[in-house]
Amino acid sequence: MSDRFVVLSGCSGGGKSTLLAELARRGYSVVEEPGRRIVREETARGGTALPWVDAEAFVRRAIEMALEDRESAKDLPGWVFFDRGLIDAISALTDMTGEPTLHELGNRHRYHSKVFLTPPWPEIYETDPERKHGLAQAEAEYARLIRDYDVLGYEVLEVPKRPVEQRADFVLAHLPVERPAAR
């Protein structure tokens, strides 16, 4: 487990990427959502591991990428904020296939005990070329993530619907004061 790895998860279109960008602007290390990177890669190469073409292949690739992200982030100093991550991907796979991977992988590859979830926010929700599903599907995903993070013993904190600076302040206020990076 890495106590420095903090997950920002929640409802699609709830402002996670904007929050992640604010944390990066403040000097924190961040890891972009695997799903968006996969969609860009698959679209560029004409691949089919896309959520609207082959959802299972997409989720399995997201699991691989999330594990790679964790390995790559080991040497980053201080807090490392992940836009989604391994738990989101294995939660989707378990929901989709019934495979019992949630407990096995979820407990073997832990993140910080507090996970920050952005709630459904219809006023800002938009589809785009990388997010084609509607709000109802995003809300169902949110409910599943709350359940699965809770099952794995994480403390789930809902990020308030406020300007991004206040949302970043909320996240940072709920984490211990960061120690200086080792030199």
pLDDT at 132: 55
What are the structural domains of the chain? Answer: 5-173 (3.40.50.300)
pLDDT tens by residue, the chain, 183 residues: 478 999 999 877 778 889 999 999 999 999 998 988 998 999 899 999 988 889 899 999 999 999 999 999 999 999 999 999 899 999 999 988 988 878 888 888 999 999 999 987 556 555 656 655 565 777 788 899 999 999 999 999 999 999 999 999 999 999 987 643 432
* CB count in 10 Å sphere of residue 125: 17
Sequence-distant (6+) residues with CB within 8 A of 18 are 164
User: By C-alpha distance, which of 30, 31, 22 is closest to 166?
Assistant: 22
Sheet holding 5-10, edge to edge: 29-31, 80-83, 5-10, 114-118, 155-158
Per-residue tokens: 19 = 């929050």
CA distance linking residue 152 with residue 136, whole number of Å: 25
What residue has token string 């959520």?
Answer: 51
pLDDT at 141: 87
Helices (H), 26-115: 34-45, 55-73, 86-97, 101-108
pLDDT at 36: 84
Its pTM surpasses 0.75: yes
